[in-house]
Chains A and B, each alone.
Chain A
Amino acid sequence: MSTKGTHIPDWLAVPFAGITPAPSQNKGQDLFPTGNWRAIRPVYRDKMPPCNNACGTNEKIQGYLDLVKRGKYLDAYALVKEDMPFPSVTGRVCYHPCEQACNRGQYDEAISIRAVERFLGDLGQALPRDVVKAGPPNGKKVAVVGSGPAGHSAAYQLARLGYAVTILEKSPKAGGLNRGGIPDWVLPQDVLDREIERLVELGITIKTSTEVGKDVTWDQLKKNYDACVLAVGLTEPNSVRAEGEDKKGVHYGLPFLRDIGMGTSDVKLGPRVAVIGGGNTAIDCAREALRQGAEEVTLITVETAAEEMPCVPEDLHDMLAEGVDLKHGWAMTAALGNGKVEALQLHPARFSGAINASPIAVDREAPAERFAVDNVIIAVGQHASLKWLPEEFKNERGTIAIDRFGRLGDTKFFAAGDIVQLGSGQPLMVVNAVGDGKRVAFNLDKVLRGEPLQERMVSIDVITDLARMNMTYFPKFPRVQQEMLAPASRRRTQDEVIRAFSEEQAMEEANRCFSCGTCNACDNCYLVCPEPCIVRSVRSNGLYKILVDYCKGCRVCIEECPTGCLEGVPELDFDTGVVRMDTAFAITQGLHGRQAEELRRLPEKAPKDIENWR
């Protein structure tokens, strides 16, 4: 009997024929920790989706699209509200850098992110009470000067952090550029009003018709508040330095829009209107001019082609659809006419540098063109009005000098938005100002709490390569288009041009999202694992667990991860959950660990001389 006298040590005891509970049950995997076969370990590692990265305030776009997919609209709204106080506004006005960055754009068409954001924003508007609540009061008071995008954002975040916030607004109505710079047919006033109401609901005090330097002094700000955020924006229109700019019938872009927005405009436009400028404000002015009664509107730009214009392409497209003409390569050098502008003198011009922010070279030797108009609207940018600001905080660009945390020296003053970003290279767009306001609010909070400030983090792993995802899982599917008012019926009305998504459309569009690089709980790994060593307790994002004692590293889950969230990481990079062949050094659960323990004790038991070694 060869098996007579044999015994199996406790630490090697195996059940009958190796039959064990299923690996997914009752510690079934403890017994046979085959994880030591693994050279590559699957790891859930969320990347930065390009949309989130491109967004001026880093909205968690992939996150809320995923929630919309699942019909969790309120959760999606709460998520967008973390970074964006007014999705109803940006859902209408944003230049959506997210959509330009969207990986789906390389595949078929980018996701209509802005339209989904608007769907969520409008949902939030309809709520009797907002989901966002003010933080527990911390007893500190902060003044926010200006109620435009940056000020609104800073005030909102500070209120959430528990500050008693007072907004000081120069105009009779709060809203800043949101109200004064964006026409009604893009952003209806009542939508903005509702967002301002939300600020009041958060406990924020809004003092309108209160101008810093006039109604409130610098010293009062310093004395009456623990800190202050300056978000006064760029209020003064730039001149084109042409002769006769003071003639009647010459208007400036932002005040033109602002007065209409505030309801204080007395502008009566003639049938022929020229708009000077190639940016978004110029386009808004041209389209507004049509709605204010103009018959023929011409946009005159220094840019020599439409593609060079620094504007949102679809706004340009919509403007042309409404019947505005383009005239490229000209600069206005004079407003001609007797007291009232009757014509423009135009000279050929181009930018002297490679970018269209560089100085303009006007060819005055060339024959001038006379361009007959009844009105001209000059929309070539804005600058700041900072008479109230102590000299030490002004810089050579004519804006507020700040450090990289948005702080004015070592004071408790911070600044955000266009007033600091003009000429910085950051686009002067609503969403960028919102991001600025958010970051400054957090920095201010850190300063008041005496915590060290941290550099703005830059994502190092933005997933932009489709090869890192598994495109097999994504059939091509066209973008859901937002309905629009017919161009012919847009003139003479302040009705919104772009229509909202229905619930079905929002969900259909959100469904197109790849969830680039991010776990969206699709269950694919869970289903494809040939061994049951991927488990999930709750079906929710990122809640899968890989049983590393058992996973053999076959890589099927990695290859089959649609979003590219799962990565293969060399096992040697780990020092936890390791099951290695050299069992003497393995510290793990189950039988393997017991054996390791036994083997570790061997040297202690070993006799000194070899003769007694058994």
Chain B
Amino acid sequence: MATATVKKRRVRINGCVAAAQVAKYADVDVIAAYPIRPYTATMMALAQMVANGELDAEYIVADSEHSQLSIAHGASSSGARVFTGSSGVGVQFAYELYSPISGTRMPVQMMIADRTLDPPGDFGSEHTDALSTRDMGWLMGWSCDAQEAFDNHLLGFRIGEDHRVLLPQMVCQDGFFVSHVTTDVELPDPGQVKEFLPPYRHPYPLDPRRPVSHGPQIMPEQGPPLQLERARAMEGAVPVIEQAHEEFARIFGRRYDPWIEEFMTDDAEVVFFIQGAHAVTARYAIRHMRERGAKVGLVRLKTIRPYPTDRVKDALSKFKVVGVMETNMGLGSVSSGGVLYAEVCAALYESPKRPLVFSFMAGMGGEAIVLKEFYWMTQKMLDAQKRGAIEKRTHWVGFEE
């Protein structure tokens, strides 16, 4: 499509509204809503669009997140393109539905604006809400700003609805850091979206004219083949994701590596491994430290499911030290910190050149990670490099000397 005919618009919106904009561009059929901060703003924006007649969709307000996801599941089973979302404990309350939705291969799209789990009631961003569902068969990844959130939501529909995949997507963004921070976002021309995202058709929707059973009871020995099929779908998504990102770059002019973003890693010896919004401040800190001679870089994980094991291995094997930024809780986990550490170490295990790996509990409870803390963490990595050994697997940033 020639750029001249394209009517792009540059607007200033936050991550919540960016997600809502994609639902509108994708012309979703059903929106299943239940309010919880901070994602609520997305549903507020969509409610306005439906009320204004900008979007023709069934907007269903559920009585809880469990019902909300059940509605999403049912609507998707009938062949609708469905958009839903949640935050924090809301994500948890709907937990029962995550496996059924992916198991019946319903490409529901769910927007997550992260929020710390209770207790206590804390609105700040922590990734535990979404990460706790990471093995339920949903495609999952984090955006670090509103533009990327917009793009990832659009990519999510395209990838999840592909008949080679047919899996639900959890498109995550940090609460407040992305969801409530207003930035410039380029909204595409509807024609571009039309070209990128074909109309959705599930191959076997529930239709009284052609009755089928979804999720029937099965014999015990029929479980394994179905699980294998779901595993194949998840693995089969890898080439589809790459292809979709190619198409995206061609149509919209923004090219992303679907798996990892590397920043100032060319000659880096120590790197942060990070996902989500703190990458924005990390980039600033790294530039600042680079000016002072530290060979520090950043590797940002963009898609955690399916997990790009080989890409992580190849990328991280180049460095001496990897500091995993955990903005999540993995109580009693491998590192006694977060859950990413194990994912990183496992990917590196088969590498002939394994860097030192340890993790930082940083940004917990939605705290900003300030420049001073990046210095401190970088110093820890340089120390380990000098020492040739880690001090411990997990550091609690702000609570140690």
Contact = CB atoms under 8 A, between A and B. Distances in A.
Interface in A11-38: 12-14, 16-25, 28, 31-34, 36-37
Contact of B229 (A17, A22, A24, A592): A17
Contact of B214 (A19, A23, A32): A19
B213 A595 contact: no
B6 interface: no
B4 interface: no
Given A3-B235, A21-B212, A595-B221, A16 B105 contact: yes
Given A23-B213, A23-B216, A32-B217, A1 B222 contact: no
Nearest to B166: A17
Contacts of A21: 211-213
Contact of A13 (B211, B217, B225): B225
Contact of A18 (B215, B220, B221, B228): B215
A19 B204 contact: yes
Interface string B343-381: 000000000000000000000000000000000000000
Contacts of A32: 216-219, 222
B221 A552 contact: no
Nearest to A25: B211
Contact of B219 (A3, A13, A19, A36): A36
Contacts of B214: 17-19
A3 B226 CA distance: 12
Given A32-B222, A595-B221, A3 B231 contact: yes
A576 interface: no
B232 A3 contact: yes
A19 B212 contact: yes
A460 interface: no
Contacts of A40: none
Nearest to A531: B217
Which of B214, B216, B218, B219 has its CB near the most chain A CB atoms (within 10 A)?
A: B219
Nearest to B106: A17
Nearest to B215: A18
A591 interface: yes
Interface residues of A, number: 31
Contact of A20 (B212, B224, B231): B212
Contact of B221 (A31, A34, A583): A583
Interface in A147-162: none
B40 interface: no
Interface in A462-481: none
B293 interface: no
Nearest to A28: B213
Interface string A577-594: 000010100000001100
Nearest to B236: A3
A20 B216 contact: yes
B103 interface: yes
Contact of A19 (B104, B222, B225, B235): B104
A34 B222 contact: no
A2 B203 contact: no
Nearest to B214: A19
A552 B217 contact: yes
A553 to B, nearest CB: 12
Interface in B213-271: 213-222, 224-226, 228-229, 231-232, 235-236
A12 B223 CA distance: 10
B250 to A, nearest CB: 27
Contacts of A8: 225, 228-229
A612 interface: no
Contacts of A14: 218, 222, 225-226, 229
Nearest to B212: A19
B219 A6 contact: no
Among A8, A18, A581, the most chain B Cβ lie within 10 Å of the Cβ of A18
B212 A2 contact: no
A71 to B, nearest CB: 33
A3 B104 contact: no
B275 to A, nearest CB: 23
A12 B228 CA distance: 12
A327 to B, nearest CB: 76
Contacts of A33: 219
A581 B221 CA distance: 10
B164 to A, nearest CB: 12
A12 B225 contact: yes
Nearest first, the 3 A-B pairs at minimum CB distance are A22-B211, A17-B105, A3-B232
23 contacts: A2-B231, A3-B236, A6-B232, A12-B222, A12-B224, A14-B218, A14-B226, A17-B214, A17-B226, A18-B222, A18-B226, A19-B212, A19-B213, A20-B213, A24-B211, A31-B222, A32-B216, A32-B218, A34-B217, A34-B218, A591-B219, A591-B222, A595-B221
